[in-house]
Amino acid sequence: MPGVPAPRDPVLFKAACPECRSRFELSAGSLRLAIGASHRTTFYTFTCPECGSAVRKPAGERIIELLTGGGVRTLRLHSTV
C-alpha cells in the first residue's frame, strides 16, 4: 500500500564470547549500551547464549552508531562532580 512503510527484518549483530569463544548473532533486545564520560565508561553488554557468561566490551564511536541505529537500548551515565 502506498504510504505504508514495508516491514523491516529485525537487526542482528554479530558477536563473540571471550570465555567460550563462540560466535553468534544477537538481536537488539539482547544487547545493552552504556555511554559514559570517557572511553572507559562507554561499553556494551550481553549474555553469551552458549555459556551464559556476562560479557562487557568497549564501544567506540562506530559501535555506538551501529548499536543505536539498530535499536539497542542505551543508558547514558552521568558523573556526579
Q: Is the pLDDT of residue 44 over 80?
A: yes
Whether the predicted pLDDT of 79 surpasses 70: no
pTM for this prediction: 0.81
Considering only CA atoms, which of 57, 56, 53 is closest in space to residue 19?
53
Q: What is the average pLDDT value for the chain, to the nearest integer?
A: 90
pLDDT of amino acid 2: 58
C-alpha cell at 51: 555459556
pLDDT reported for residue 78 = 75
Distant-in-sequence, close-in-space partners of 32: CB < 8 Å, separation ≥ 6:
44, 45, 46, 72, 73, 74, 75
Mean pLDDT of 11-31: 97
